[in-house]
Structures are given as C-alpha cells and as structure tokens.
Amino acid sequence: MPTTQLPNTASLRPDFIWGVSTSSFQIEGATQEDGRGLSVWDVHCQTGEIKNHDTGDVACDHYHRYREDVGLMKTLGVQAYRFSIAWPRVLPSGSGSANEAGLSFYDRLIDELLAAGIEPWLCLYHWDLPQALEDRGGWLNRESATWFAGYASLIAARFGDRVKRFATLNEPSMFSLFSRSLGTRDGSSEDKLHRMIHHVNLAHGAAVDVLRANVIGASIGCIHNRQPCRPSSASEADAAAAARLDVYWNEAFPEPQYRGDYPPSMRAAIEPHMRPGDLARICRPLDWFGLNHYSPVYVKARADSLLGYDFGDKPANVALTPIGWPIEPDAFSRTLQDVHARYGLPIYVLENGYGDSGQPDQTGAVIDPGRIEFLKAYISAMNEAASKGVDVRGYFVWSLLDNFEWDSGYSIRFGLTYVDYASLQRTPKSSFGWYAGLIKAMQR
C-alpha cells in the first residue's frame, strides 16, 4: 500500500497501542443460552421500538464464533482488544450466585486472545444491566454501587490473573442521559437523572477499589464519551442549552471521578443525593482516561424536554458520514488537548469510527473508502494532538464487526468487517486491509 494513503503518525509513541472495540450485547447473541439472565436491553428489544424490530438474540453470534473473531483480530495485527462482559451472563440475577457457564465463555475468549498475542481490555459495563437489578430500581437505587462492586469482585477473582486492563463503565453520560429508567420526561426526570449520575459515580469508585485490591498490576480507567456540545444557531437560548448539556454530557462523570467534585453548575442538584464522604468514594486513583469520540453535537433549546435541549441542525458546510454524523477531525484534536489539559493522565482512544450501511458489491467485496478517509483524517488529528504534547497512548477502532447498533438495530454498520446477518459470514472490508496495513507500517 502506498504510504501516502496512511495518516501522519510521526508524533505517536513507539509503543502506541492499536486496537479494536466491541461490546457484549452488540455482538454476542446467545441471549438465552447457558443460564444467562435477561438484561435491560433484551427487555427493551421486546418493546418493538428498535428499528426493524431487531433484537440482540443472535447479533453476530460471537458467543459461538469468538475463535473466528479473534482470528480476524490476529489478521488485523491489533495489539489489544476491548470487549465487555455481559453482567447477566455471569450473574444472572445481578448479584448472588454466579453462572459458571457464563464465566467459562469469557475464560475461553481471554485465553484465545492471549494465545494470539492480543491484550484483553475488559470493560465491566457496556449498558446491559441485569433486568433483575432494574426491577430493584437499577441505577436509581443507591444499592447499585454495592451490586456493581460485588460483580467487579467476581470478575477480578476470576480473570485478574490474565487481565490487567480494566474499564469500569462505558460512557456513563450516554446511559444516564438516555436512560429509559428516567421514565417519561416529566417534572421528576431531572431529579432522577441527578440521582442516577451520583449512584453511577459511586459504583465506579467502588469497583475501582475492588479491582485495585484484588488484581495485582491492574491498570484502571473509565471510558467517557466526550464530544463538544455546540449551539445549532446564533440564538442565546441555543447557546445556553448547549452550554448546559455540555456539562452533563462531558463533565458530570469525569469531574468527580478524576478531579474530586461535580461541576459547580450541577452541584446543588446532586446535593440531595449525597452522603458525607461520597466524593472521596468516587474519586479513586486512576491510571488513564478512556476517550470515545465521534463528532461534535449540535444543540437547540427546547423548553419541554429533559435539561431543556434537543438536537438541532448541523452547520450546512460540515461534511457528514452516511448516518449523518459530522466529520470534524479538528474537534477530535481539540478534545484530546482539552482532556490532556484537564486530567493530565495518559489517554487511550477507546472508540472512534464511521457508520454507514455499505453492502457487498457484485464480486462480494465490501469497498468502503469513506471509512478509510474518516479513519485517516481522525488518526492524523490525533497525531497533531500528540505533536502538541498530548499523552495519547492508544487508539481502538469502533468496531471489529458490524453489530447491533442499539435503537438502530442492524441498519447501521460500524465494522471493519462486514457481517451478513442471514449467514453470519464475516467479510473484511477494504478498511480492514487498510487498518492492517497501517498497523504493520507502524511496527517497522
């Protein structure tokens, strides 16, 4: 491959880690097998609200095809793989007795990764809360921190001999702001949101302590979705709505976790849910900042909605991906600089990627130049941030495979690998070959 097609990586560290990310509910399938309990997402899929009435029942069938998927990673040449454990697969009721069959699936996966020379990065929670815990109030129940610590201790005891990289939560701001547990957006939902934010933060802190105490050499962080929230017009109301959302989206979790307090503008709202000592319970020493970044968010004011905002028009001059997400690599570089300035820890980019609905051509090949251009531009932007002193140490593409994209079901594809959901056959896209070429070039 001509090197002109590769991004500028001159400022990245020699030991920079290249990886791919996935999550349990989005790829595993086998939702009713080997004693797995229900998750909130299984139940949500039954409401019929997911595009095309898709469910996670089969997904990519990774539960049965994990060997083939690790083989794909080996071909890619990635040094690391970020995945999540399905909490209800290992603790069907969320707490109490563990499910040996579920645990042994992850044993097999981890062993396969290690045998392939790929470092497992284990995320405890990527949104598939056990429904049994939701029935007990879920994250609105302060007990959730204790449940989560219990789950973390099971994972630490079982996998801590082989896994050293742990993330507590994936994108707490996303699963809180868009949680169905807040109910209809009535007058009480903002109070519920504040309660949930605080409990999720407590759960994070409790899990960090458990991992630190039980895994020798653990390297721990939390994964935050960080995208600048910008007003979609010049109006003052839109500017105020964007500024308010920015605090919830980008600061409500990292500020207490990494710097010990809530942003001043939301502190009074959190106060009723706090007990003495809580901030110290949340702010535990961490090793790195996990960053998921896609694109800026454009916001308009909307009085009758949670936090008074809605998504607004994107600027006419901004290029969009096929699923309508802005392509703004400069915002990625600035976000990296901002995270570095604020938190000072090593940064791992644990998600970045491009969604489309690309299909195979007549020859069966999946040619996706848009994804290659996107990744190239974003990796160059990351390199630019590194050239300005940002301590960025790894980059993980979302995602290894096309998968279940939440409310969009299987209609949106983020994979480097195409998945034919009828046959479950995997076909590496042209971006897969491109990413493999980049990783190879970096190792020379």
Assess 323 for contact with ligand FCB (CB under 6 A).
no
Nearer to ligand FCB, 92 or 355 (CB): 355
Q: Say if CB 93 and CB 99 are below 8 A apart.
A: no
**What is the nearest approach in angstroms of ligand FCB to the Cβ of residue 265?**
24
Give one DSSP letter per residue of 211-275, joined into a string: HHHHSTT-EEEEEEE---EEESSS-HHHHHHHHHHHHHHHTTTHIIIIISS--HHHHHHHGGG--
226's tokens: 């960080």
* Count of other CB atoms within 10 angstroms of residue 377: 17
Binding mask 12-31 for ligand FCB (x = CB under 6 A): -----------x--x-----
Of the candidate residues 231, 312, 405, 429, the single one contacting ligand FCB (CB under 6 A): 405
**What is the nearest approach in angstroms of ligand FCB to the Cβ of residue 304?**
26
Assess 174 for contact with ligand FCB (CB under 6 A).
yes
**What is the nearest approach in angstroms of ligand FCB to the Cβ of residue 294?**
7
Cα 181 from Cα 97, distance rounded (Å): 25
Q: Which of 112, 119, 134, 171 is catalytic?
A: 171
Nearer to ligand FCB, 255 or 402 (CB): 402
Binding mask 213-242 for ligand FCB (x = CB under 6 A): ------------x-----------------
**What is the nearest approach in angstroms of ligand FCB to the Cβ of residue 114?**
24
Reading phi first (left if > 0) and then psi (alpha if -120 to 50, else beta), residue 433 is in alpha
Nearer to ligand FCB, 126 or 165 (CB): 126
**What is the nearest approach in angstroms of ligand FCB to the Cβ of residue 387?**
27
Residue numbers 44-103 binding ligand FCB by CB under 6 A: none
Nearer to ligand FCB, 132 or 167 (CB): 167
Task: Tell me the pairing of strands 119-125 and 417-419.
Answer: unpaired
Residue 62: in which H helix or E strand, if any?
Answer: helix 62-76
Segment near ligand FCB (CB under 6 A), from 87-95, 166-174, 228-236, 282-290? 166-174
Q: What DSSP designation does 58 have? A: S
Binding mask 346-365 for ligand FCB (x = CB under 6 A): -----x--------------
Cα 136 from Cα 118, distance rounded (Å): 38
Residue 379: in which H helix or E strand, if any?
Answer: helix 369-387
Is position 100 annotated as part of the catalytic site?
no
Q: Which of 224, 195, 194 is nearest to 286 (CA)?
A: 224
Of the candidate residues 16, 348, 395, 406, the single one contacting ligand FCB (CB under 6 A): 406
Of the candidate residues 9, 39, 131, 170, the single one contacting ligand FCB (CB under 6 A): 170
Residues 6+ positions from 362 with CB-CB distance below 8 Å:
none
Q: Which of 112, 134, 351, 384 is catalytic?
A: 351
Is position 143 annotated as part of the catalytic site?
no
Nearer to ligand FCB, 138 or 290 (CB): 290
Give one DSSP letter per residue of 85-118, joined into a string: --HHHHSTTSSSS--HHHHHHHHHHHHHHHHTT-
Residue 396: in which H helix or E strand, if any?
Answer: strand 392-398
Q: Say if CB 66 and CB 112 are below 8 A apart.
A: yes
Residues that bind ligand FCB (CB under 6 A): 23, 26, 170-171, 174, 225, 292, 351, 398, 405-406, 414
Residues marked active site are found at 171, 351
